[in-house]
Structure formats: structure tokens, C-alpha cells
């Protein structure tokens, strides 16, 4: 059996003379990958109390600034990290993605580009301008790169970074193509003052949506069975709310691994169809296939929103950490709901490490 990415990722974090500033750090997935790539998180900022506690628990050497970025000057952030303008080797962060996510398109003010949270992207750019790091790395939902109401924000991001003197590249990345056991797509934008950076080449290949062909010389995508199969019989990891009950819970056992509510439709040939075709979100009653990567881990799943385990239950905390490539001993502070949100919003550290390492080579 192949080694899990959570086993392979980077190994030890070491003291580095390459200081980095982290904004919107969340649970620290991006930060962990950055440190494994050779940087040192000199200061981290986030507004969420539990996320800040998680950062302090796992990055004891890092000053954590807790609060809304709009209330902090760049000078105060730099001071907390013992830095001056131009000292930082890297600025990293993922401004809250809700304004750019396709899940919010039903809200008129989001479609019109009037979400006030979108202004947080401006504050990332403000810190980039005033802190003047050698390089930067930004992650967000790939909807930010859509040619819709998000187009103006994305163009502003790229134009502003280039006007500040950075060589900028962007790419929508499928995490599974880099050894993460999850078909998670996100847009990454990175830039360097020295030269144009390049994204790392994919290490794995496999089917995804309409993709029929890929480089067969690459390793196959890491599957959920490889990532969490050894945790399945662990009774000590069981959680009180892992059972799926209520109106639709009894339907889950009938759905084959890798499928969702569409199994119970006339178009799929079900003898007693219960749902109209494409009448629900894709993730409704979605079940993991142990022979495939996981779909995207949700930050705030509803009662019938998957992915669910192939054993017809909700995923346990230890399992979602693995699917996001966090180490087993990584401590998440807060309630179970808070932990789900923190991990679901995080950048997989194994992916972050590979991208940050390629960026360091351009500095």
C-alpha cells in the first residue's frame, strides 16, 4: 500500500531565516505547508477565536494576532512579528471565500459583486503593498477566477500585484493531482519580485469530471481507502453524532459507494424513484468510494450533505484531517462543528508545501 500524504508531507518543520506573514490563517493548513517548505511563520492573523487557538497550539513559536484585519495597520502586524517593511520573504493567505463561491450565487448582492466581505481581498493587497515581501501566495475558491461577477475582483487582484512589481502567475489546481486524497479544486495566485515563479508539475493523475486522458506515467490518485481505511475499524474514534438519521438517513445504506441521491431517480432506473433528476446539490447523500479520492470536504455541511463514509455514517474528525493531509497529532481547538469548519476551509498542507517550495525557488 502506498504511503498516505499525511505521512509523507515534509516531515520536520525547522527554524528558518525566511520569515513569512500569514493572513486569514484559519486552522493553519497553508502555514504548515509553508513551514515544511522552509519558511518560518513570523506572525499569523485571523479573526476567529477557535482558529487562533488552533494556531497557537500548533505554532507555539508564532505570535498570533486575533481580530479583524480591517482593524489592524500593516505596521502593527509587522511589529507583532518583529519585522520591518521588506523583511518578509513571503506573504500567504486565503481571504474568506464566501463572496466568490458559487454556492452563494442565489444571493442577488453576491451576483452583483456587492458582498462587503469581498473587501478583505483589498486588505490582503494593502498588506502586500505596505509590507513589501519578496513573494506572495494566495489561495481561494476557483469561482474567484470565473468570468462572472467575480471577474472584476480577479482582474483587480492580478493588476494590482503586477503594478506593485510582482511577476504573477495563477492556476486552478486539483489537489488530487498532487497526492491529496481529495478532488478539491482551488485557484492559487503567486508572485515574486525576482522572477516569474512556476507551479510544480503534477505528481499524480486520474479521472476528474470530464477529464478522460491524463499522463499515465504519473502515480494514480491517492484513494480514500488508502488514506483512511486503517481508521475505519477504530471504535475509539467513534463520535456521538456520526449516525445519519431523520427524513433521508435511511436512504444512505442503499446508495452504492461513490454515488449520491441520483441513485434514487427514474433516470438511473430506480424502481421507486424518490427524487427528480438534478433536483438537489451534488453532495446530497454523497457517499465516499474507497477506490477513489474524496470529493471536497465541506466546511459547513447540512444534515444530508456528504461526503459520507462508505459505512453509511458521517466522517469522523480523524478521517477528515487525513483527507485534508493534516498530521494525526495536529490539534484542532473548538467544538466538533468548529473543527469541521476549520479543517474544511483549510488548504491541504501537503499541497501547500509543494506550491510554497516551488515559489521559494523563484525568490
Catalytic residues: 97
**125 sits in which H/E element:** helix 120-131
Dihedral of CA atoms 279, 285, 289, 295 in degrees, nearest 10, equals 70
Please provide residue 284's backbone torsions phi and psi, each rounded to the nearest 5 degrees: -70, 120
Please provide residue 280's backbone torsions phi and psi, each rounded to the nearest 5 degrees: -135, 170
Distance CA(142)–CA(159), nearest Å, equals: 18
CB 15 within 8 A of CB 38: no
Dihedral sign from CA coordinates of 144, 147, 149, 154: positive
Distance CA(196)–CA(161), nearest Å, equals: 13
Residue 333, C-alpha cell as written in the block:
481547538
> How many angstroms from the chain centroid is the CA of residue 50?
17
Distance CA(242)–CA(222), nearest Å, equals: 24
Amino acid at each position: 500500500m502506498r504511503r498516505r500524504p499525511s505521512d509523507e508531507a515534509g516531515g520536520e518543520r525547522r527554524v528558518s531565516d525566511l520569515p513569512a506573514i500569514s493572513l486569514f490563517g484559519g486552522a493553519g493548513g497553508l502555514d504548515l505547508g509553508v513551514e515544511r517548505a522552509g519558511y518560518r511563520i513570523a506572525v499569523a492573523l485571523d479573526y476567529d477565536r477557535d482558529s487562533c487557538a488552533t494556531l497557537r497550539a500548533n505554532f507555539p513559536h508564532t505570535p498570533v494576532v486575533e481580530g479583524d484585519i480591517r482593524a489592524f495597520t500593516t505596521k502593527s502586524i509587522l511589529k507583532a512579528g518583529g519585522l520591518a517593511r521588506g523583511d518578509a520573504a513571503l506573504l500567504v493567505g486565503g481571504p474568506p471565500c464566501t463572496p466568490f463561491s458559487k454556492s452563494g450565487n442565489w444571493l442577488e448582492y453576491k451576483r452583483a459583486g456587492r458582498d462587503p466581505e469581498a473587501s478583505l481581498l483589498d486588505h490582503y493587497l494593502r498588506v502586500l503593498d505596505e509590507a513589501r515581501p519578496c513573494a506572495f501566495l494566495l489561495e481561494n475558491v476557483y469561482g474567484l477566477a470565473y468570468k462572472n461577477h467575480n471577474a472584476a475582483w480577479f482582474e483587480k487582484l492580478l493588476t494590482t500585484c503586477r503594478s506593485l512589481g510582482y511577476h504573477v502567475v495563477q492556476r486552478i489546481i486539483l489537489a488530487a493531482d498532487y497526492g491529496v486524497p481529495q478532488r478539491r479544486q482551488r485557484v492559487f495566485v503567486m508572485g515574486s519580485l525576482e522572477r516569474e515563479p512556476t507551479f510544480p508539475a503534477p505528481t499524480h493523475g486520474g479521472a476528474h469530471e470530464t477529464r478522460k486522458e491524463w499522463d499515465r506515467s504519473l502515480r494514480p490518485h491517492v484513494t480514500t481507502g488508502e488514506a483512511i481505511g486503517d481508521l475505519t475499524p477504530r471504535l475509539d474514534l467513534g463520535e456521538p453524532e456520526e449516525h445519519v438519521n431523520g427524513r433521508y438517513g435511511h436512504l444512505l445504506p442503499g446508495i452504492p459507494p461513490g454515488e449520491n441521491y441520483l441513485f434514487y431517480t427514474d433516470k438511473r432506473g430506480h424502481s421507486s424513484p424518490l427524487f427528480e433528476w438534478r433536483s438537489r446539490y451534488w453532495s446530497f447523500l454523497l457517499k465516499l468510494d474507497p477506490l477513489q479520492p474524496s470529493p471536497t470536504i465541506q466546511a459547513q455541511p447540512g444534515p444530508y450533505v456528504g461526503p459520507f463514509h462508505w459505512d453509511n455514517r458521517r466522517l469522523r474528525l480523524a478521517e477528515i484531517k487525513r483527507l485534508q493531509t493534516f498530521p494525526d497529532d495536529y490539534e484542532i481547538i473548538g467544538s466538533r462543528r468548529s473543527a469541521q469548519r476549520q479543517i474544511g476551509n483549510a488548504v491541504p498542507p501537503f499541497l501547500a508545501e509543494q506550491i510554497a517550495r516551488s515559489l521559494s525557488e523563484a525568490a
